[in-house]
Amino acid sequence: MSPLDLLDIDASLGEEERQIRVVVRQLVDDRVRPHVAGWYEDGQVPARELAREFGKLGLLGMHLAGYGCAGASAVAYGLACLELEAGDSGVRSLVSVQGSLAMYAIWRFGSEEQKQRWLPAMAAGEAIGCFGLTEPDHGSDPGSMATRARRDGDDWVLNGTKMWITNAPIADVGVIWARTDEGVRGFAVPMDTPGVTAREIRRKMSLRASLTGEIALDDVRLPADARLPEAVGLKAPLSCLTEARYGIVWGALGAARDCLETALSYATTRTQFGRPLAGFQLTQAKLADMAVEWNKGLLLALHLGRLADAGKLRPEQVSVGKLNNVREALAIARECRTILGANGVSGEYPVMRHANNLESVLTYEGTSEIHQLVIGQRLTGLSAFA
Ligand SMILES: Cc1cc2nc3c(=O)[nH]c(=O)nc-3n(C[C@H](O)[C@H](O)[C@H](O)COP(=O)(O)OP(=O)(O)OC[C@H]3O[C@@H](n4cnc5c(N)ncnc54)[C@H](O)[C@@H]3O)c2cc1C
């Protein structure tokens, strides 16, 4: 048992949940850990290759049912996110965007034909999806989006720009959100449609082992059946974000665990003033405080997961989890960095990579401030942002 499991939370997991965790942890140990520092440094990741391997294990859209998806529980999906992000937040992002954003949107809002066309291939990792909501001038406020879809006969014609879109540079299908005369609608856009271009965003200092792009839509003509028929209004993309945020509640704890395990191991072997760093009270205070926060975060994730499996999880509860667990994971990563001293800034150790990654995780899928506002609205009954 991990010394980090102060509260014996492991004991409350079911056999299948533990089993999934073991399998994903092994995959991360074999396929991610040995290479990820290099991917991060180079700003490259073999995303297609990884997607196929994740697909073989049923990790893509694993919480969805049918169409080649595994139909796992929300808790099992969360544990998989935790293990993936213990490898790297960028690798977990690949899986989250594929499963919780692109696949979920098609699964929840698509026509039968769209589901048959895309979901089995996406579940297998043969087709990659992305989710285009954010624009250069509209991030936290997607309701103001400028991307337009207008009718031309039976066709739709899309114009606009989407920014910061995970997986875009290699995506086969983009779930693109656009304003129409009737309000916001979603479209399943084959990325090889004339008029679609995806440019990779380089020079990121965070999530470097994840591909991020800008999508330009220039008179993109789509047949009528490209629209996701059940997606009506902004609440459709927001419900997809709730799905993905749920995975982050767990995932962030994975990055934090990897930092904590690294710091624990470092502190017990590194000697200064004639004794291991772990023998100093100040170091133990840091380790104790971080372990307490980590265990609280895991209890929160598990609670939300059990609510999700009972069909009772509400969006503002996911905001509580995303706000707390990412904020605490980032604080843990930074504190662990101090325990490693100068080695903390080295790519030879994973800690600074996780800390840098968590800066993106803090911002995407709703910034911390937006989640505070969601919770504030629930508490006061007053919307401070809409
Ligand atoms: C690596 C990465 C990958 C991403 N992947 C995707 C993706 O796949 N698909 C996608 O659609 N998007 C993606 N995003 C975009 C992400 O969701 C947005 O960056 C995020 O929603 C914030 O938008 P913004 O960056 O425009 O910041 P802004 O909205 O401009 O916000 C800037 C700051 O102002 C604060 N702020 C804004 N409004 C308020 C308010 N009312 N009150 C108080 N403070 C406020 C914010 O909290 C933030 O601190 C990704 C981002 C990153 C970094």
For residue range 352-368, list pLDDT tens digits in order.
999 999 999 999 999 99
CA-nearest of 187, 180, 179 to 231 is 187
Question: Would you place residue 1 in the very low, low, confident or very high pLDDT band (cuts 50, 70, 90)?
Answer: low
Q: In which band, very low, low, confident or very high, does the pLDDT at 148 lie, cut at 50, 70 and 90?
A: very high
Mutate to test the pocket of ligand 1, among 202, 364, 368 (most ligand atoms within 8 A of CB): 364
* DSSP designation for 60: T
Single out the residue of 271, 237, 104, 11 nearest to residue 95, CA to CA: 104
- Would you state the pLDDT for residue 95? 98
* pLDDT value at 28 more than 90: yes
Digit-coded pLDDT (tens) for 169-217: 999 999 999 999 999 999 999 999 999 999 999 999 999 999 999 999 9
- Quote the pLDDT of residue 300: 98
How far does the centroid of ligand 1 lie from the alpha carbon of residue 270, in Å? 40
Ligand 1, residues at Cβ distance < 6 Å: 97, 131-134, 139-140, 164-166, 207, 212, 360, 363-364, 367, 369-370, 385
Threshold 0.95, pTM exceeds: yes
Q: Is 366 left (phi over 0), alpha (psi -120 to 50) or beta?
A: left
Distance CA 96, CA 200 (A): 19
- State how far the Cα of 201 lies from the Cα of 137, in Å rounded to an integer: 16
Query: How far, in Å, is the centroid of ligand 1 from the Cα of 236?
Result: 18
Residues annotated as part of the active site? 365
Protein residue with least CA distance to atom 9, ligand 1: 165
pLDDT band, residue 2 (cuts 50/70/90): confident
Q: What does the pLDDT look like over 56-109, one tens digit per residue?
A: 999 999 999 999 999 999 999 999 999 999 999 999 999 999 999 999 999 999
CA distance 8 to 1: 9
Closest residue to atom 7 of ligand 1, CA basis: 165
- pLDDT of res. 302: 98
Q: Is 106 helix (H, G, I), strand (E, B) or coil?
A: helix
